[in-house]
Structure 1
Amino acid sequence: MNRRTILATTTALLGLALQPALAADVPEGTELADDQTFSYRLLDQFPTLDPQLNEETAGSHVLRQIMEGLMTQDAQGNLRPGVATGYEASEGNTVYTFTLRDDARWSNGDPVTAQDFVYAWRRAADPETASPYAWYVELTGMKNAGAIVAGEMDPSELGVEAVDDHTLKVTLDRPLPYFPAMTTYATLFPVHQETVEQYGSDWTAPENYVGNGAYKLAELSLNEYFKLVKNPEYWDADNVVIEEVEGLIINDSSQALTRYEAGEFDLLEPLPAGSYPRLKEQRPDEAISVPRLCSYYYQINQREGAKEELKDPRVRKALSLAVDRDVIVDQILQGGQLPAYNFVHEATAGFEMPELDYAQMTQAERDAKAKELLEEAGVEDLDLKLIYNTDESHKQIATVLSQMWKQKLGITTTLENMEWSTYLDVRKAGNFDVARSAWCGDYNEASTFLDILMTDQEQNDGKWSNAEYDELMKASKTSDDPAADYRQAEQILAEDTGIIPIYHYSNTFLLDPQIKGFPLQNVENNWYVKDFYRVKAD
């Protein structure tokens, strides 16, 4: 394996350090199984495997296997080399120069070059691409990104340059010490320009796909399964142990558990709501619960044309106060999740949890305040439509939520369940009053949560808008104390009730004990199958 000297370390802000670019680390004397395969369950079909068009978790998991960015992560969430062997940062953290390995190749044998990253990043920012994650490029602080995303400047003006085939220079318009960590997300993965331009939207079909990851896309059957095979062109292929990966799309959580117990696949996440205590007792070596950098919340529609009552912060606050979060985490989920009164997950690096008044109340006090606010707002009769995507736990939470609102506030809620892609379209179109939402950090820093609730952000489907919040988050980009800005932003969010936080995730799952190398200390839940291996059964 080609090992290089690391040129720099990341900032202590994230508590990360670059680690050697190891693939599967198999202890000496380990008896490997003859069958080196790995399989897992997906709740929903991912809409795309185009890195610049991807916007959700299921697609991100697959893209990490078939594509590779400048940097990746190890089992603890530390940065480690990917296509880049390392980087140098300017004194002010506004210019980053990445050195690319000379043995990185695409699955068709072409070399991976700095220009592949330039093309992909410009493509992500280009309005013609219509990337749902164009805002992410803007958040990186790359020079001119904002103007390009707004259609005011040509993508060629983006602050990224191929100095030569193996040197990528990135210029930012503001200091951003955690920029290298942001390159681990799929939006900033490279793409093979010739393939994209030759096949257009069909370039992601298995027969056309050209990737640079440890695996290749071999088969894809919509809403059923996909299959990956080891990529012999991958620069570290000799150290990749798992030969084949299969993903099974199973919407029904109970059915998924039954099929796991029948030995059909190796990893089941998440577990059915409320099942973790029983499964931990029955399968102590397989049932696992660890923190995960995600927050579960509800968006409230505040668009033009939305219900006038929901534009009143007193009504929104009443809805939030009436939610007994302890009931949801202790009686429904039962997997180590924590009740959420703020948006940013408590495990986020460098984040200090804010002291919010309503979080200090008893539930009885919150209920009384909710009734008082609703009466003050003059609301006597309110019917709401709440949407969620297909999953038993989402259904259970929505059902309990609607019961709480009915019993405590007299509000009637109609629940609408829909499959994933339809749900995304409906939510983006604003055809809801309340919408189930969740956000998993794209990098381990509080802005990954708080930025998405700014007025003009793509993920702000409820269109909550607060000028003070927006200005504070913009100022945090150049602030000497962004942590203080984040705490203040959370105070504004809670006071205005831009969203209704419900709980902070833990990752509950079942994992076949024969599979080794799975990361248990990476709160972002970013796993790479190239690190896994299967041992012989006991």
Structure 2
Amino acid sequence: MKKLSLTMLTIAIMTAVSSNAMAADVPQGTVLAKKQELVIGNGTEPASFDPGLIDGVPGSHVADDLFEPLVTVDENGKIIPGVAMSWTKDPSGKVYTFKLRKNAKWSDGSPVTSKDFVYSWKRLVSSPSSYQDYLASAGVLNAAEIVNGKKDADSLGVKAVDPYTFEVTLKEPNPAFVKMLVHCSTDPLPQKVIAKWGDQWTKPEHIVGNGAYKLKSHVVNGSIVLERNPDYWDNAHTVINQVTYLPIQEKQDLNRYKANEEDITYNTINSDAYPQVKKDYQHELNVTPYVGMYYYVFNVNKPPFNDVRVRKALSYLVNREALSQYVTGHNEKPLYHFAPTSVEGFKPEKTELEKIPPAQRIKIAEDLLKKAGYDQSHPLVVNLMYNSSDWHKKIATAVASMWNQTGFVQTKLDQQEWKAYLDNLRIHNFDVARKAWIADYNDPSAFFNLLVGGGSSNDGDYRNTQFDQYFKESQSASPSNRAILFNKMDRIVNKDAAVIPMFEYNSQRLVKPYVKGLALNDALDHQYVKNFYIIKH
């Protein structure tokens, strides 16, 4: 008994962390501007401000300001406390105990408690969304069974031990668990507010959050204005008083920045303008690592895309090197794997496709299409769906040209607005669709989880039982064995041609010289406005 207690104490000491969290770190002697207000380009209109329904980077940017999860990250991407001051895990590695800040409050002044996390997490696993299975992938006890309708949400492995102690039980140890809690889908939620207003609870006049900012106003496709939340537990160290997010495309984003109507651009600069931007704004351009990938997904159950020969042919016809060199415009790295080569814990092996010269790939693709019953007199018709964006259109046009070059394929481009695009992905109403994934946490499982059979983010409805088994094993394997398992999964994905990986992302962002506090070494590109400040200029 004494030995067990000593072990528990040792683990607690080793895993407990400091209660200090990041905030604006203003160097001594810095003269701040009187007006602390920012305007930031944010890509597209978010589908929702509800953390459990966020789908895409633009929504995550806003959610990161309106809400705060148990843990966040510092400017280097390292885990630091959020609402949780500290946490411990038991000797089995399955039970985590989080101690919450007693001064954490909602924007209406009421306290944030462990019950708010219990409610949020149970709601997440029982409500259809792109992240419904997120806690299942994290290994939370009974999460998978709840998502699949086999158990009730009340059986989820979470407990409010007391108002400021939140306990989580995992099915098996998961080395990436705490890293996964940075994602906004794990944010606490105000149950009473949601019960009162239903799906209208995120409107400016109703929404209650626990982040450094609160929603002041929202004009759809116009602007999202956030103002400082005086009830935020670390408000004393927040400097920016107001931030306006603009859901605008790359060209308009850049033009507004040049006209001094914007302080920070979105993290993708118009590729046509990029060479000139590098020349004219070299001291304002910030290019940083970004753990994300760009790929096309097949609707694998829809003929003829249920034929692996068709999928492989289309993949072989995409010249990744040409895309990166001549089309994307940001020096992206060509990708042949279902995870970026830069992600922590992934050491990919060279694929068969990589070993084949581009010219030879075309001949192989033609042979595959012939065997599948297609030729120049009877071409394969492909509808390529992508969401509205100058950049996505440019890439889709280039890929269509690559597919069409042999005469064996006839491609139709299908550009859709963001919400319609998401709806069609969810109901599998497409042939081939543009996809991208920015990791929710820096681990290979953040990517391979997307292809687990039945997962809510598995838009192509790809299923392979061996792949699923390897993924399950990876959740509790040692670091060295996890690396082996991820390579096995990668080989399966490439053999089945379930997707077409294209390139790895980087982040390109223009920032006015007077804006300070951005995170430039976080591969997940979390940019918390509470850490920003404006110097006198």
Q: TM-score range by the shorter chain?
A: over 0.9
Tell me the TM-score normalised to structure 2 length: 0.94
Distance 1:71 1:256 in 2: 31
What's the CA shift string for 1:313-352, capped at 9, x where partnerless?
A: 1221111111111121111222131111111012211111
Structure 1 residues 409 and 75: CA distance shift in structure 2, 3 A: farther
Partner of 2:498: 498
The aligned runs of 1:125-204 (5 Å cut-off) are 125-126=125-126, 129-204=127-202
* 1:443 aligned to which of 437, 441, 444: 441
**Take 1:352 and 1:331, find their aligned partners in 2: how far apart are those partners?**
27
Q: Is the 8 A contact 2:46 2:56 kept in 1?
A: yes
Q: CA RMSD in A?
A: 1.7
Residues of 1 paired with 2:12 and 2:510: CA distance? 38
Matched residue of 1:346: which SS?
A: coil
In the alignment, the residues of structure 2 paired with residue 37 and residue 142 of structure 1 have an alpha-carbon distance, to the nearest angstrom, of 40
Residue in 2 aligned with 1:14? none
- Map of 2:303 onto structure 1: 307
Partner of 2:458: 460
Moved more, 46-55 or 526-535: 46-55
Task: Look up the match of 1:354.
Answer: 349
Are 2:39 and 1:39 aligned? yes
**Alpha-carbon distance between aligned partners in 1 of 2:164 and 2:117, rounded to the nearest angstrom:** 11
SS of residue matched to 1:23 = coil
Equivalent of residue 364 in structure 1, options 359, 379, 384: 359
Identify the match of residue 253 of structure 2 among 253, 256, 274. 256
Instruction: Tell me which residue corresponds to 1:331.
Output: 326
> How far is the alpha carbon of 1:467 from its aligned partner?
2.1
Shift of 1:10: 6.6
Contact 1:340 1:503 in 2 (8 A): yes
Greater alpha carbon shift after TM alignment, 242-251 vs 366-375: 366-375
Q: Deviations over 1:98-149 (max 9, x none)?
A: 11111111111101111110111111112xx323311101111111111111
User: What's 1:3 paired with?
Assistant: none
Paired residue for 1:292? 290
CA displacement, residues 368-404 of structure 1 (integer Å, 9 cap, x when unaligned): 2222222233322211111111001111111111111
Aligned counterpart for 2:374 among listed residues 379, 397, 412: 379
> Does 375-384 or 236-245 show the bigger shift?
375-384
Which of 397, 400, 403 does residue 398 from structure 2 map onto? 400
Question: 2:475 & 2:170 partners in 1: Cα distance?
Answer: 12
| Cα distance change of structure 1 residues 283 and 9 upon mapping to structure 2, 3 Å threshold | farther
Give the aligned residue type for 1:111. P
Question: 2:113 and 2:513 mapped to 1: Cα distance?
Answer: 39
- 1:92 Cα offset (Å): 2.8
Structure 2, unaligned runs of 5 or more: 1-10
Distance 1:431 1:155 in 2: 30
Cα 1:462–1:131 change in 2 (3 A) is closer
**Equivalent in the alignment of 1:265:** 262
Q: Runs of 4+ in structure 1 displaced over 6 angstroms?
A: none
Q: Do 2:374 and 2:408's aligned partners in 1 also have CA atoms closer than 8 Å?
A: no
Secondary structure of the residue aligned to 1:170 is strand
Would the aligned equivalents of 1:39 and 1:266 in 2 still touch at CA under 8 Å? Answer: yes
Aligned-pair identity in percent equals 37
C-alpha deviation, 1:535, in angstroms: 0.9
Pairwise CA distance, 1:409: 5.2
Q: Is the 8 A contact 2:24 2:517 kept in 1?
A: yes
Amino acid at match of 2:329: Q
Superposed CA deviations along residues 252-301 of structure 1, whole A, max 9, x for unmatched, are x2222111100111111210124322211101111122121111000111
Q: Partner of 2:340 in structure 1?
A: 345
Aligned match of 2:468:
470
Report if the CA contact (8 A) 1:67-1:214 is conserved.
Answer: yes
Q: Is the 8 A contact 1:371 1:409 kept in 2?
A: no
Cα distance in 2 for residues equivalent to 1:487 and 1:110: 48
Deviations 1:195-221 (A, max 9, x none): 111111111111111110000111011
**Alpha carbons 2:317, 2:365 under 8 Å: kept:** yes
Letter in 1 for 2:276: R
Contact 1:125 1:148 in 2 (8 A): yes
